[in-house]
Every structure is written in C-alpha cells, then in structure tokens.
Amino acid sequence: MTSKYQWNNIFLSIMVIALFIFPFVTDSRTWTILLTQIFIFSILAMSYDILLGYTGIVSFGHAMFFGMGAYTTAVMLDRIEPTIGVFVLSIATGMLITGIISFIVGLLTLRLKSHFFAMLTLALSGLFLVLAEKWRSVTSGNDGFTFRAPEFFKDRMMFYLVVLVCMVVVYFVLRRFVQSPLGHVLVAVRENEQRTKSLGYNTLHYKVIASVVAGVVASLAGSLYAISLRFVNTSVLTMDITLDALLMTIIGGVGTLIGPIIGAGVIELSQHFLSGLAKDYPIFERWIIFFGILYILVVIFFPSGIVGTIRQAFHKRKKQSVGKEEQSNSEEL
Amino acid sequence: MELLTNLTINGLATGMLIFLLAAGLTLIFGLMDVLNFAHGGLFAWGAYSSVWFYALTDSFVLAILGAILTGVILGFITEKLIIKPVYGNHVQQILITLGFMLVLTEMLKVVFGPNQIAVRTPENLVGSWEIGDVIIIKYRVFIIIVGFLVFGIFQYILKKTKIGLIVRAGVLNKEMVQTLGINIKNVFLYVFIAGASLAAIGGALFAPYSGVIYAEMGMEYAILGFIVVVIGGMGSFPGSLLAAILVGLVGSYMAYYVPSLSLAVNMIIMAIVLIFRPQGLFRAKG
C-alpha cells in the first residue's frame, strides 16, 4: 500500500515540476493560457467532486459559487484598486461570502432527497443568474464589464505560476480533507446514508460541511477565472459552468482528486483542438455533442471514469496475479 | 378589466403549455421513480419538428401529428437506451438524463442550425375576438382548449381503462402489480412514450405562441416543469394541472405588476413548498 502511494507521489511530483518548468522552456502564449485555463477548471472540478464523488450529492447549482467568486474579485478590483493586496482580499471575501451562502443553502436543501436537491439547486442557480442580470448597478448584467488586473499579473507567466500553485495547494488540502475522519464519514454517506445515520452520525451536518468546502473552493476557481479573462459577465453563473464541472469530473473519474484534473485537461484540450478543426469541418463547432455522448457512455459503462477504470484494471491484474500464485501454491501442495 | 382578462388568459395559456411538459414528468416519476432531466429536450424537439412539418405540409394538424411522432420516436429511444440501463440508481439517472439533455439540445443546433427560428401562427388561428372592449387572442384560447382536452383524455384513460388502472396501481406499488402477472417494464415504456409525446405536443403548441424557437428553450421550460411537478406533488396528474395553472397565472401577473420578480417568484414558491411540504401540495392517489 505504501509503495503505491509513493509511486503516486513520485509521479505527481514529476508532473508538477514539469508544469512549473514549462513556461520557462517555451514561450508559447497559447499554451500558457490554455494550461492556466485547465488549472482553473481543475480547481472547480475538484471542488465539484467533493460533492459528487465523495459525498454522492448531485448539485446543479455549482456555478453560483463559481460566479460569486468571479464577481467578488472583479467588482473589488474594479471599485477599489487593482493591486495584489485587493486581489488577495477579494479572494478571501469571495470565499467568506460563498461559505456563508453555501452554508445557508446547504442547511435548507440538503435534507431533501437526491431528485429534489438536484432540482432545487438548478432553480436556485437560475435565481442567482436572474439576480445578477437584474442587479445592473453592480454586475452590469449580461454585458458585463472589464477591469484592470493587478500589475503583477500583466505577465501571463506569473499568473500561470500563481494558478498552478493554487491548484497544487487545493489538491493537497482537499486530499487531506477527504482522508481525514470527516472525509471518511462523507464516503460512508455516499455508500449508505441510512446506515451512517444509524451509526449515530448526523449526516446533514456532514453534507453541509461538504457543500461549504466545495462552495469555497469553487469561489477560488471563480476568482482566478475572472482575473484570467479580466472581464466578467453573467456567463459565469450559467448552467454551462456546472455542466463543464460535471463533464470533467465524470469523464476524469468521480471519487478521486486526480480524476477531475485529468478530466479538465482532456476536455479543455479537446475543446481547443476540436474548435480548431471546426474551420474545416463545421460539425466540430458543436464539439460539446461528442462530450455529451462520451459522458453518457461513461455513466453507463465506466461509472468510475478514466482514473477509476484504470485503477480497477490495475487492481484486477494484481488480484489475478495474486490469485494465480495462490493457485499454483495449492497445486504444489 | 381588459387587462385582467388578458393577463388571465395569457397565464392560463402558459400554464397549459407547462402542464403538457409537467404531466409527462410527473407520470414518469410517479410510475418509474425516474426524474427525467431530458424532458425539456423532448419539448424543444417537438417545437422544432412541428415547425419543420408545418413548413413542409402547411397544415397545423399534420405539424402537431409530426411532433407527436417525434415524441414517440425520441421517447422510445430515450427509454430503451438512456433510462433502462440505470433503473434504480438515482444519482446515475440524474447524471445520464442531464447528459442526454445536452445531446438533444446540441443535436437541434446541428440539424436546424444554431440560430433562433421565427414561427408564424397558423392562418385559421391568427387574429382575435373583440368582446366589448376586451380583445382575446384566438391562439391563446386554442392552447387552453387543447390543454384541457389533453387533460380530459388522459384522465379518462387513467380512470376508465385497463392500462390506466395498471398505471395507477403501478404508481402505488410496482412489485404488487408485477406479482399479478403484468409486465411492468412494458408499461414503463408506454408511459414514457406517452409522456414524451405530451412534451412534444407542448413544444408544438409553444412554437406559434412565442413566435420564435431556440434550442435552449428546452432547459428553460423544463425548469418550470420541475417547479410544477414539485408544487403539484410528484406522481399526481391533477396536481400537475393545478400547479401549472398556478405557475402560469402567477408568472403572467408578476410579469406585468412586478416584472423584476417574475422569474424569481416561481422558484421561491418551489423552494417554500420543498422546504415545508416536500411531498407537494397534492398527493398521488390510486
């Protein structure tokens, strides 16, 4: 078991170091921006996986937390001043606001059964979208507004490194979170909520905690996303953001933290290349259709996604080889 | 007076359209325990296909029949390919039907193009009646009549026929129906197809009503459909009619008197119902 973790860690460290060195080796602007985008969506997808993969809750309202983070950062940088201090403050404020709102929302909605919860979150995020469109004095509605990013981020490379650090930190914090006793209770809720309840855990509390953690991390992703575009409009609150997180998590692998990162990479990269192909083959303008079909196939045939399926195959082989050894041993006897 | 009448008729017409969407949702949920997030996609496909058939044949009746055909085919495909593999697993059901919704919406854009399509009202339904100083638009009355007609037909089938009896019994207790030697899986398929066709009829009626159709309308109206199903009580057919009329009327009055709240108010009603009376205002009865 330890050796497996060691291998995982070594592999991860190599990947992270390679990503850190990457911008120093190449100066391809496209790739820097693309990778930044992947890191931001990895953070979002990881936060979504805390709900979907670890706690077994399907929320269709994740975009509202992402959007709140994006708007907080954008509004504060625009209204106060574009400095690093305000940037850090805006991230903290965004997290605080989403923390409070996800706590209230969670407390009200998480006692419902999965169907009702999914519907209510869908409706609530719709409500927030409408609010943002109507509250024009702050959000400028659907037109959105541009703002100046801190001087420090003018260099795309600096921003790349900051986002990468954020992603790595979020990964380790969330890994610690899901491996803590609290995280194990969440998995127990996913596996069998009734039984967890009868063991004396107040499952509602645990689900609310999961929803707050997911909301706060999504808000961080939103803040970074706003900076990366230097523009924000109501699209950050739309269903598309939730769908992105959902596709990335499902395709990458639910119930793992690496899965969402891989999912984010796969989807952003294919989106990039498929929309590049659209010039020649118009069908690729609707690239999302391929993901929709892929997603359905994954849900039916590989419910544990890329990472989960690879892991299962790995375990199977190990088990088979162990089984064979036992067999040969017994034959010898 | 004129204003109030118009708002009421408008609200009733919208309510009927939502009812056609929600009726299928509620029956499917009541019987199969499946919440179909792809239902809005069937609604949108109904709208697009009716417009297509209308342009082809120039007959609104044929256009609606065409939409029903689309609904039947899509319903069959959805049940067999999408719903069947994940019976009994709620999380997977939610995920997969939402994914199918995505595919349906994008397919619309591939087949009919990504832009909005303008729709004209069928000739014999254009215009309005004037009663005193009240102007009543014909097409809205037509929608209301069709809505009640569909409700009547389905209520008759549910209450008076054998298949209706099986469906009602299935809503109450699936296992018991199966022990009586009835293949409930087949009944599931029929109910799903019926629900899909209802959504398609709703879409077909919606197209001339709004005058313009677009691929995203499926999701927009599906949310209203969910709200209605929740308020009306999952599995309750009459409940969904009453809740749909409520949602339609409230939406129509609010849009005039407090426009900034019009979209929010239905969601607020649903949130209140869910928090205080999660089983809905009406109960599914045998």
CA A281 – CA A133 distance, rounded (Å): 35
Contacts 24+ apart (CB under 8 A), B124-133: B124/B60, B125/B60, B125/B208, B133/B1, B133/B2
Mean pLDDT for the stretch of residues A217-222: 95
What is the full per-residue pLDDT of chain B (286 aa) written as tens digits? 778 888 898 899 999 999 999 998 988 888 888 888 899 999 999 999 999 999 888 888 899 999 999 999 999 999 998 888 888 788 888 889 988 998 999 899 888 888 888 888 887 777 778 777 778 888 889 999 999 999 999 999 988 999 888 888 888 888 888 898 888 888 889 999 999 999 999 999 999 888 889 988 888 888 888 888 888 888 788 889 999 999 999 988 888 888 777 777 887 888 788 778 777 777 655 5
Domain membership of residue B106 (yes or no) is yes
A vs B, Cβ pairs < 8 A, gives 95
Task: Answer whether A123 touches B (CB < 8 Å).
Answer: yes
User: Which pLDDT does position A332 carry in this prediction?
Assistant: 43
In a domain, B249, yes or no: yes
Asked if residue A325 has pLDDT above 60, the reply is no
CB A110 within 8 A of CB A208: yes
CATH number, domain at B270?
1.10.3470
How many structural domains are present in chain B? 1
Per-residue tokens: A192: 């069998």
Closest chain B residue by Cα to residue A242? B98
**Beta-carbon separation of B92 and A303 below 8 A:** yes
**Amino acid B150: pLDDT:** 92
The confidence score (pLDDT) of residue A331 equals 46
SS3 content of chain A, % helix, strand, coil (to 5): 85, 0, 15
Residues in chain A: 333
Q: How far apart are CA B255 and CA B268, in angstroms?
A: 15
Q: What's the gap in Å between the CA of A86 and the closest CA on chain B? A: 32
Yes or no, beta carbons of A127 and B267 under 8 Å apart: yes
- Residue A7's nearest CA partner among A254, A250, A311, A312 is A311
B150: in domain? yes
Distance CA A132, CA B5 (A): 32
- The answer as to whether B285 is a domain residue is no
Whether residue A292 and residue B223 make contact (CB cut-off 8 A), yes or no, is no
Q: Do A126 and B100 touch (CB under 8 A)?
A: no
Q: Is the minimum CB–CB distance between B241 and chain A shorter than 8 Å?
A: no
Check residue A79 and report its DSSP letter.
H
Beta strand extents in B47-199 (DSSP E only): 117-118, 128-131, 134-137
Detail the DSSP E strand segments found in chain A: 145-146, 231-232
Nearest Cβ partner for B95 among A113, A131, A299: A299
Q: Give me the residue from A114, A131, A289 closest to B94, CB to CB.
A: A114
Domain holding B50, by residue range, is 2-276
pLDDT exceeds cutoff 50 at A168: yes
The structure tokens listed for B73 are 């085919």
A interface test, pick of B267, B273, B275, B277 with most A CB neighbours within 10 Å: B267
The answer, for A104 touching chain B at a CB cutoff of 8 Å, is no
Does A1 have pLDDT greater than 50? no
Q: What is the pLDDT of residues A22-73, one digit of tens each?
A: 877 777 788 888 999 999 999 999 999 999 989 988 999 899 999 999 999 9
Q: What is the mean pLDDT of residues A136-151?
A: 83
Q: A109 in contact with B at a CB cutoff of 8 Å?
A: yes
Query: Is residue B212 in a domain?
Result: yes
> Using a CB-CB distance cutoff of 8 angstroms, which residues of chain A are in contact with residue B219?
239
Q: Is pLDDT of A276 > 60?
A: yes
CA B11 to chain centre: 15
More confident residue, B46 or A322: B46
Among A176, A239, A174, CA closest to A213: A174
Give a yes or no: residue B146 inside a domain.
yes
Q: Is A182 on the interface with B (CB under 8 A)?
A: no
Residue with tokens 């399907």: A58
pLDDT bracket for residue A321 (50, 70, 90) = low
Instruction: Indicate if the pLDDT at residue A326 is higher than 70.
Output: no
CB-based contact B102 A131, cutoff 8 Å: no
CA geometry: angle at B72 spanning B70 and B73, to 5°? 65
Residue A126, min C-alpha distance to chain B (Å): 8
Write out pLDDT tens, residues A79-91: 888 888 899 999 9
Inter-chain touch A289–B103, beta carbons under 8 Å:
yes
Q: Is A246 on the interface with B (CB under 8 A)?
A: yes
The whole-angstrom distance between A25's CA and the closest CA on chain B is 39
